[in-house]
Structures are given as C-alpha cells and as structure tokens.
Amino acid sequence: MIDFDPSTFGLAHTYQKEDKDEINTLKMPSAPQVIYRTLNGPTQTNGGNKLNNFKHGTTTLGFVFKEGILLAVDSRASMGSFLSSEQVRKVIEINEYLLGTMAGGAADCQYWLAYLANHCRTYELKNGSKLSVAAASKFLQGILIGYKNSGLSMGCMIAGSDLSGQHLYYIDNDGMRLKGDIFSVGSGSTYAYGVLDNHYRYEMSLNEAVELGIRAIYHATHRDTASGGVVRVYHIHQNGWTKVHDGIDVVDLHYQFAQQKGLVGDGDEAKQRLF
C-alpha cells in the first residue's frame, strides 16, 4: 500500500533536504571513457616490441597536362617486409567524373573515399547538380581534420573534372590540402619525382603523358621494394575519366626498358651466351 498526504496530493512535490542529499550522491553506472587514439596506438608486448608497426608502401602519382590529368599507381600492399598483395586497386572510382588515389592505410583510404562517394551522390540527389572537385576535396579535408591525431594513415589525391575544368588535389591525414600540377605519394614517390621532374611538360600529348606515368611508376617499383605489382593508368578529361591501362606487369616493363637500352637481362640472351 502506498501512503500519501491528502493535503499535498496532485501538487508539485518538494524534496526534503535529506532527499536532496541522497539524490545528489547517487552514482549511476556508466561505461568508462576511452580515448579513440589510444585504441589505435601500437600494440606492444611486455618487452616493448611493437606488433603492429606496419609500414605502408606504395607509389601513386598524378599530374596535369594540356589534355587533362593523368593518374598512375602501382598495386602492391605491404606490411613491413611482408608483401600482402600484388593486386590492390589504388585508384578509387568515386563517381563518373571523380577519382581518388590511396596511399597509407588501405582500410582508412577505402572507407573514407567510399564515404566521400556517398556524400557526392547524396549532394547530387538533393541539389540536382554535381559537387565540384574543390568542394569534394574540402569535404574530405574536414573529415580528416576532425580525426587528426586519431591514428589514421592517409595520403590521397583527389582528381576530377567539373564545369571549371580539371583539378588535382592532395590531402593527408593531418588535414593538409594542396592544389597542384604534380604530386606523387608513397614510399616510392622520391624515385617517381625524379622521373617526373626530368621529363614533365605541360604541352605533352596523351600518349606522352601515359608513357611518362608508366615509366615513373616503373622506376619507383624498381628501387622501392614496397612498390610493385602492376601499373594502372587513368586519364581525366572534360567528359569524365577513362581507364587507359588496367594492369601492366612491372616485370614486363623491366625487360622492355632494358631492351631499349641494349642491356642483357632476359633468359634467352643468357642461354645464348652460356651455350
């Protein structure tokens, strides 16, 4: 049975001092607060050896020329000295006019570029027009700034075509966003830049640009053990983008370029000299 005072029934209840003290000291159970970046820090054993200290090797490049933008990438994924895959697709086809490249953590790049693709599609459905390349890159930059120092590993290029022309941007996990004419990202970028700086011309034809992109990726894979696999090439133009090459084996390129230099390198030539 519930006891109540008829004189105060139905009126706003006033707590006595004892009741207030009891309520103020009441502690409700709650989950512990966990900082996100703590979960993404390097896992260590008791001896202090890092278990997850993976180095993300790759070579991606992009440059602007008179007929648009050319993107070229390798396909190797590595975890330290372990080669985990030779068939990674490092160009993410965001939509019919926008492409993104991935370097760093594969999961981070794939997820956030897919998230960007979803945002671009939502914007188009709501507004009846396409999101500009600058706005798309700015949106991705805003996300990465929000997750700064949270363990993300990303070095992406966003390249695309809109009403104002073709544009190339570089964005990384620190929230840096740059617009430029030549970018190369990844562990092999130093070697790719050496080729690009020596042979790049804005007035190149499409065939010359494709040849330069392939040669730069090849030289990077030749010197950088974390880059390799096949070379994929995309051309971005005023009508969108076109996949020029979907996989040229760098081993085949090695013998092709060696033959052009007159170097001995294939098995048949070696057999002829030995026998």
CB atoms within 10 A of CB 7: 6
Catalytic residues: 58
The CA-atom distances, in angstroms, between 220 and each of 33, 61, 187, 216, 250 are 44, 11, 9, 6, 10
Residues in CB range of 98: below 8 A, 6 or more apart = 117, 120, 133, 136, 158, 159, 160, 161
**243 neighbors 92 (Cβ within 8 angstroms):** no
The CA-atom distances, in angstroms, between 175 and each of 134, 164, 185, 219 are 15, 24, 15, 29
**244 neighbors 265 (Cβ within 8 angstroms):** no
Beta strand 155-162 pairing with 82-85? unpaired
